[in-house]
Amino acid sequence: EPDWLQLFSETDAGDRVARAGIVIPVLGLEAGYYAVTVREAQVQSPIVGQPYACSKGWVLHVTAASLVLGGVGYLKRWNQAHPKLRRMAVPAGFYAVSVSLGAAAGDDDYALDFELHRCSVRPPFAADLGVSLRA
C-alpha cells in the first residue's frame, strides 16, 4: 500500500495532482461531524446561512465511473478498495469546483459542500493551494 500522504506533503506531487484535477485537498477542518455534499451548481447548497469559508478555483477531471471521497488519513496507507471510502457517480469530464464550509441543517457540526460546474474544456486552475477551511 503506497503512502500517498507522505509523497503529497513532502514533495511537490501534492500540488501537481491538485493542479491536474486529480485531487481536491480540504485542509484545516476542525474535528467534528460533517455533512458532505457533492452537487451540481444548479442544486441548492445544504449550508444554512452564509458559509464560514469558501475555496474557489479548483479543477476536477473525472475519468472513472465514480468519485472517491475520503479523509486525509486514508492516504497514509492508500487502498482504493477500503470500505470506508465513499464513492459517488459523477459523469466523466471537467469541472470547476468551489468548496464551502458552513452550518449544517441536521445533527452534524458542519456542512462541507463541493459545488461542481461542468465545463466542456479544462477550466483554468485558480485555487489557493494553501487555503485552510476553518469555521
Q: For 19-41, write each residue's pLDDT tens digit.
A: 999 999 998 899 999 999 999 99
Q: CA-to-CA distance for 19 and 16, rounded, in angstroms?
A: 5
2 CA to centre of own chain: 21
SS3 6: helix
What's the pTM value of the predicted model, to 2 decimals?
0.93
* Count of C-beta atoms within a 10 Å radius of residue 60: 22
34 CA to centre of own chain: 13
Q: For 28-74, write each residue's pLDDT tens digit.
A: 899 999 999 999 999 999 999 999 999 999 999 999 878 999 998 99
